Every structure is written in C-alpha cells, then in structure tokens.
C-alpha cells in the first residue's frame, strides 16, 4: 500500500464509497421488495432492506477482523438502506414495474460490491484466493441473509448465474493486485466484467448445472 501515492489512495477511497453506497441502495431495494411481497410490516421491510444491502459487507468485515464493520460505524450505509426501504414501502407498484431496470441495477450493485469487497480483503492482508471469495461473499451475502430472513433457500444457491459473475470480477481485481496493475483501471475492468457477465446471464438465462437426479428416497439419517 505504501507505494500508492496518497492522492490515488484518497481518490480510490472516495470512489469506493460512492460505489458502495450505490450498491447499498440497489440491494436495499431488492430486500424491501421481498419484504413487501411477504407482507412484512414497515419495520420488517426496513430490516430486509438493511440486511440485503449490508449483510455481505458485515460478514466480510467480521471475518477479516474489521470491527465495527463499515455498515455499522458509518451512518450513511444505514441512511441509504432505509431510504431505499421507505421508497419501496410507499411506492411498491412503480418499483415493481421497474423490474427489468432493477435487475440491471442489481447487476451493477453486485459488480461494485464484489470489486470493493475484494479490495478491502486484500487491504487486510488476506491471501488472493480468499480475498476473491470474500469479494464474492460481499456481493452475494446480502441476498443470502435476505432470503434466509423470510425462511427460504437463498436464490443464489439454485437460480441463474449470479455468484460466479461476482467471482469473475473479484478474480480480476486479485490478479491485478498480484501483477501490480494500476488499481483504478483494474477495479473498473473487474466491475465491467462482472456486470457484463451478469447481464448476459439474465438475457440468455444462463444456469449452472445441477447434479444428476438419484433415487434418494432413503436419505441420510443425519441430513434429512
């Protein structure tokens, strides 16, 4: 880190914050809309907004020892998440009609979180492999907690291609760090790759394969 000019560090910091808050807003919308559909009250909807937008980053911060997590110590994350939640609460129908636009913004949020999460994990000294996975986790963790809070299997575990696009962006950031590429262009490349892959996954309905069905009627005692 000491080789990066102070100015660039400052710019990166600013940029990361803007990215982070944008991603926070979009993910909070996805959480709030799920809360609306599940008939939660306004408090439940705001909790889902915050969880969907911040649980990934909070988990990453707990795992790398960055406590209190940014989403807790910086009020702006909360403010953005609550604003998104209130918007979805008072205007669910218009937002619902923006379905496709939201998917695009969600892809953008995923890209931003994956890149920013990877950079933070690298800054805390994690090895490249784990930094990339924590970047991915930053992107998908919010959605996982959001789904668990309404007692459903997280969409990311069985729906269309999502987590791998985040991982692709994260891996680019990690490679760039390893090869000493300039930070900002690397981050942008990682973000664009994730964003582009995700949009293509939506458009072409890309799925990962599932396992071959087996006759598993007498399932494992412990696992049932």
Report 101-160 residues binding its own copies (CB under 8 A): 102-103, 106, 124, 126-127, 129-130, 133-134, 143-144, 146-160
Distance in angstroms (rounded) separating the CA atoms of residues 27 and 52:
6
Tally Cβ neighbours within 10 Å of residue 171: 23
Q: Are 48 and 106 in contact (CB under 8 A)?
A: no
Tell me if 35 contacts its own copies by CB under 8 A.
Answer: yes
3 or 212: CB nearest its own copies: 212
15 or 175: CB nearest its own copies: 175
Query: What angle, rounded to 10 degrees, do the helices at 99-123 and 183-203 form?
Result: 140
157 or 184: CB nearest its own copies: 157
Tell me if 84 contacts its own copies by CB under 8 A.
Answer: no
Q: Which two three-digit tokens encode residue 81?
A: 């998440």
Residue-wise DSSP of 105-157: HHHHHHHHHHHHHHHHHHHTT--HHHHHHHHHHHHHHHHHHHHHHTT---GGG
Question: By CB under 8 A, what part of segment 44-63 binds its own copies?
Answer: 44-45, 47-48, 58, 62-63
Tell me if 175 contacts its own copies by CB under 8 A.
Answer: no
7 or 216: CB nearest its own copies: 216
**Residue in this structure with the two tokens 């969600």, named with its chain if needed:** 106
Interface residue with its own copies, options 12, 17, 83, 92 (CB under 8 A):
92
> Of 67-75, 111-119, 171-179, 184-192, which segment contacts its own copies by CB under 8 A?
67-75
2 or 39: CB nearest its own copies: 39
Question: By CB under 8 A, what part of segment 193-222 binds its own copies?
Answer: 202, 207-212, 214-216, 218-222
Q: Are 197 and 168 in contact (CB under 8 A)?
A: yes
Residue 56 C-beta: closest distance to its own copies, Å: 13
Residue 146 C-beta: closest distance to its own copies, Å: 8
Q: Which two three-digit tokens encode residue 120?
A: 């933070």
**Residue in this structure with the two tokens 């007692």, named with its chain if needed:** 151
Burial 172-202 (b: 16+ CB within 10 A, else e): bbbebbeeeeebeebbebbbebbbebbbebb
* Interface with its own copies: number of residues (CB under 8 A): 82
Tell me if 93 contacts its own copies by CB under 8 A.
Answer: yes
């Amino acid at each position: 880190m000491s080789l990066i000019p102070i100015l660039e560090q400052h710019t990166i910091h600013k940029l990361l914050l803007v990215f982070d808050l944008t991603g926070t807003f979009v993910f909070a919308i996805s959480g709030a809309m799920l809360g609306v559909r599940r008939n939660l009250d306004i408090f439940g909807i705001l909790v889902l907004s915050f969880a969907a937008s911040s649980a990934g980053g909070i988990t990453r911060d707990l795992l790398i020892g960055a406590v209190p997590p940014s989403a807790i110590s910086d009020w702006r994350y909360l403010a953005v998440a609550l604003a998104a939640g209130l918007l979805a609460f008072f205007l669910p129908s218009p937002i619902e009609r923006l379905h496709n636009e939201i998917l695009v913004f969600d892809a953008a949020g995923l890209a931003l979180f994956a890149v920013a999460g990877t950079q933070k994990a690298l800054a805390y000294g994690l090895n490249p492999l784990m930094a990339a996975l924590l970047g991915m986790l930053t992107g998908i963790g919010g959605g996982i907690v959001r789904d668990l809070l309404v007692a459903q299997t997280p969409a990311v575990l069985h729906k269309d291609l999502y987590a791998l696009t985040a991982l692709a962006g994260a891996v680019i950031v990690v490679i760039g760090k390893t090869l000493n590429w300039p930070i900002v262009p690397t981050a942008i490349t990682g973000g664009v790759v994730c964003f582009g892959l995700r949009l293509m996954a939506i458009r072409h309905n890309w799925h990962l394969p599932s396992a071959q069905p087996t006759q598993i009627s007498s399932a494992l005692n412990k696992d049932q």
